[in-house]
Structure 1
Amino acid sequence: MEKRKKKKSEWFDWVKALLVAFGLAFIIRMFLFAPIVVDGPSMMPTLHDGDQMIVNKFTYLIDEPDRFDVIVFHASAQKDFIKRVIGLPGEHVEVIDNVLYIDGEKVEETFLEKKDGLYQTLTNDFSLENLPGEYEVIPEEHVLVLGDNRGNSTDSRMIGLISMDQIVGKTSLIYWPLDRMQTIGE
């Protein structure tokens, strides 16, 4: 009889441990970190199609996005996009002859691929006023995002500014494939 009780108690302990583990995994996945797979070439050369990354979901609960953060956001109810933050609230953004200007000041984009000193990824000229919404400055609680592959990216130039409510989180760690494992920054 004692043996049966001990076996039942052991089995119950295992079930409790598994429930706690699944509960913690659920909480971590829902509120802290989540995996995402890069879909398409819009962030080349920084990110490649099929790269698997970790999204930090809580960082923007305690901090605001910084220029050049790579973020994941809800582009629609069915689709999340990965893009780079270029413009922040209160700023005016424009690109003229492949040069980024924030509030009239030239800003270097070191992450864009250059060959022989020239950008291989051309950015068609645009100004904040030409984008959907026709803003003069980026409103509070919004950011302007662009893909690193400017010639092949659906970003703020087409879909408009991104509200903070749409942002899922920041991503900076590629964990798969192993030969591309790295952290990304500017």
Structure 2
Amino acid sequence: MPENHNENPWVETLKTLAISAVLAFGVRTFVAEARYIPSTSMLPTLEVNDRLLVEKVGYRFGSPERGEIVVFEATEELQRQGYNDAFIKRIIGLPGETIEVSGGVVYIDGEPLAEDYIADQPEYQFGPVTIPDDQYIVLGDNRNNSLDSHAWGFVPADNIIGRATIRFWPFDRIGTIEEPSYPE
């Protein structure tokens, strides 16, 4: 049976655009989305105007790990302070751990955390605090210039949008976002 080529080209174009829009919405909502870096809070790892791919599927099957860079919706405390945009920070403290920042060092359950990715040692004191279930402590890599958990508290797991995986802009910095390895 011959194919019907009599369909109006405008109708075909509209069908194609509608299908494309639905697919794009589905991918952005459930799989991955692009984000940009608006501030210096993640220097030196991420620079202002870096463009990243944020993967959203992984946390449906597992939990965030220490060292991962995550994008999250503003917490209730941040919203009370007038912040509504998403944030990007590094997971430092996991549920059930006790975190303290003292003398320029982050301590997890009393043990210092080796951090070769930060801009400078933190010049503030924080904690000790024990992280509740299903919540995290996140800090910017530019510790002294980052609005992060040391200023406003915990990030609920439900607020986490996804994990930064790939930098796709600028071209001279394209690549995966490396995560540090910590001794067990």
Q: TM-score range by the shorter chain?
A: 0.7 to 0.9
* C-alpha distance in structure 2 between counterparts of 1:10 and 1:49, whole Å: 44
Partner of 1:159: 152
Residue correspondence of structure 1 range 1-186 to structure 2 within 5 A? 6-8=5-7, 12-75=11-74, 76=79, 78-113=84-119, 121-129=120-128, 136-184=129-177, 185-186=179-180
Root-mean-square deviation (Å):
2.2
Q: What SS does structure 2 have at the residue aligned with 1:21?
A: helix
Pair 1:51–1:18, CA change in 2 (3 A): same
* C-alpha distance in structure 2 between counterparts of 1:19 and 1:125, whole Å: 52
* C-alpha distance in structure 2 between counterparts of 1:102 and 1:65, whole Å: 16
* Deviation string, structure 1 residues 47-87 (Cα, Å, up to 9, x no partner): 00100111112211111000011000112473111100000
* Unpaired stretches in structure 2, ≥5 consecutive residues: none
Per mean C-alpha deviation after superposition, the further-off stretch among 47-56 and 11-20 is: 11-20
Q: What SS does structure 1 have at the residue aligned with 2:6?
A: helix
1:157 is aligned with what amino acid? H
Q: What SS does structure 2 have at the residue aligned with 1:128?
A: strand
TM-score, structure 2 as length reference: 0.84
8 A Cα contact 1:94 1:125, kept in partner: no
Deviating beyond 6 angstroms after TM superposition, the runs of 4 or more aligned structure 1 residues are none
Q: What SS does structure 2 have at the residue aligned with 1:101?
A: strand
1:179 is aligned with what amino acid? D
Residue 11 of structure 1: how far off its partner (Å): 5.6
Aligned residues: 171
8 A Cα contact 1:35 1:52, kept in partner: yes
* C-alpha distance in structure 2 between counterparts of 1:96 and 1:23, whole Å: 49
Partner of 1:133: none
Higher helix content, 1 or 2: 1
2:91 is aligned with what amino acid? V
* C-alpha distance in structure 1 between counterparts of 2:127 and 2:65, whole Å: 18
Per mean C-alpha deviation after superposition, the further-off stretch among 102-111 and 140-149 is: 102-111
Residue 180 of structure 1: how far off its partner (Å): 1.4
* Unpaired stretches in structure 1, ≥5 consecutive residues: 114-120, 130-135
